[in-house]
Amino acid sequence: MQNIVLALAILLMTTLAGSGQCNRKVNWHAAKAELLDENGQVVDTKEGAILMTTDKSTIVVSIKDVPNQGMEGTITASNCDWKEVFKNGKTVYKAEMHRVNSDNNSNGTFTIEAKDGKISILMEIEKMQGKKIRIPVDKYEEADNDLPVPRSVIDISTI
């Protein structure tokens, strides 16, 4: 009986930790982005410091070499399913995205997935007509929720 109670307690704690990360502000860092065609084949790769910040309501993607051009958005739906926090699982965000200083919106899906500790982000924006952007994450960090989300954002039309 004690083993059952202990197993349930561990399961509950793991579930709470895994879903709790989805409401936290996280900075995802990468050194490149890959443009994929409709069949998932890499057609172009861009090198540069990339930062994607997610929290419970927004997504902002920035590239250091392309300041003042980019994309940010409001999360409209999310699904969080992590077996091990940041090691195995995924989060899918649906968001209404727009370029900074623009009212021209496009719906997008952002999938953050980890397998055996390797994290990648797949961006699908409706205006890209089936093309996708894959970002292999080099590191991540939980951010201070009181600090603003960075506003220097990636211009995906250059990728």
Give the per-residue SS3 of the chain.
CHHHHHHHHHHHHHHHHHHHHHHCCEEEEEEEEEEECCCCCEEEEEEEEEEEEECCCEEEEEECCCCCCCEEEEEEEEEEEEEECCCEEEEEEEEEEEECCCCCEEEEEEEEEEECCEEEEEEEEHHHCCCEEEEEEEEEEECCCCCCCCCCCCCHHHC
| 97 against 143, higher pLDDT | 97
pLDDT value at 109 more than 90: yes
pLDDT value at 19 more than 60: no
pLDDT value at 80 more than 90: yes
pLDDT at residue 2, rounded to an integer: 54
pLDDT at residue 150, rounded to an integer: 45
Using CA atoms, how far apart are residues 62 and 49, in angstroms rounded to an integer? 8
Entry pTM: 0.77
Q: What is the mean pLDDT of residues 4-32?
A: 61
